[in-house]
Amino acid sequence: MCQSAVSFQISPVGHGQDELIQRHIDLKTKPLGALGQLEALALQIARVQGAASPQICHPTLLVFAGDHGIAAEGVSIAPSEVTGQMVANFARGGAAINVFCRQVGFKLEVIDCGILTPVEAVTGIIDQRLGAGTGAIHLAAAMPLASVDKGFAMARALIERHHQAGCNLVAFGEMGIGNTSAAAAVMAASMGLGAAECVGRGTGISHEAYARKLMLIEQALELHRAALVNPKAILACLGGFEIVQMTGAMLAAAERKMLVLVDGFIATAAALVAVSLAPNVRDYLIFAHQSEEQGHQRMLAHLQAKPLLSLGLRLGEGTGAALALPLVYAAVNFYNQMASFSDAGIEAVV
């Protein structure tokens, strides 16, 4: 069956209440701007949700997993089989992302978007498989264009389920050996950059593996150059099943006016494509952290994003997004609960 194209209707966030929201922030019992980036975050959240009393409800972190054909070329520190092993670890609750989600109050779900072999005998893994790993992008397209729309439709249904359950903030993690290669290729094609400006060392590859990774991504960009005509084509030629579904999930969440907490390099590559497809998505994105991957800072600058954290992370899984959730709560809570000068009987210093 042919998969029909999926489109999203995403409304821009209005700025009509900005002055009221900013005044509400400025009149708290503090010097102007003294809470720094938390004030900008509170403004963004109140702008999306309305100025009266913004709330974070049922925050959910979704880990999307998929394998990559290019991983067979030794561009990562581990073989593709580790993807499935880590997915099982997520489902059993033993990974860093499980620890952090339990700590900060994130509900966690794990989605198999297309790892090499489905994980057996472990419950709690959601089946949204688009295949058993993508094609090797230096030799062929990662997937047919129809798989991009199928992935978008699956992601939309997933987000809709959480929206109906009352969730208004989602975050996305990923797992997939080789996915920094796909993300770097997507970044290069989306931003019109050379591979050397986008390719990093992932989770810590050797000099030899880095040189091979760079060569293969340059080969992939040249192979598909004529086909990279729009964001969906970039995903089909160069992306990953998990990157496709993260992109679709960001679009779907913005369509439902949900906040999106963006993790590191790979999630930001998905955000780059989502914003290319629908610029209004940018209004709903909160960027959690700046990773150690060398292209991430450039992507963040392109998206005019100032991340909340810079901890030298390079794990993925959504760990940076999980660690940033308490800061989101802090922004909402000071906005709602902190006394104003008049409340406290203090002479205003604004």
- pLDDT tens for 120-130 read 878 899 999 99
- Distance between CA atoms of residues 346 and 260, nearest Å: 37
Q: Tokens standing for 200?
A: 């990093």
Tell me whether residue 109 is one of the annotated catalytic residues: no
pLDDT value, residue 343: 87
Closest to 236 (Cα-Cα) out of 110, 147, 302, 115: 147
Q: Give the pairing type, strands 169-175 and 259-262.
A: parallel
Structure-token match 């700025």, residue found: 15
Contact present, 112 and 128 (Cβ < 8 Å)? yes
pLDDT of 2 over the 70 cut = no
Task: Share the mean pLDDT of the chain.
Answer: 95
Q: What is the pTM of this model?
A: 0.95
Give the rounded percent of residues in the chain with a pLDDT score beyond 90.
88
If you compute the radius of gyration of the chain from its CA atoms, what whole number of angstroms results?
Answer: 20
Q: Give the pairing type, strands 107-114 and 60-66.
A: parallel
DSSP letter for 29, please. S
Give the rounded percent of residues in the chain with a pLDDT score beyond 70.
98
- pLDDT tens for 169-189 read 999 999 999 999 999 999 999
Of 242, 255, 292, 317, catalytic = 317
- pLDDT tens for 41-70 read 999 999 999 878 999 999 999 999 999 999
- pLDDT tens for 235-292 read 999 999 999 999 999 999 999 999 999 999 999 999 999 999 999 999 999 999 999 8
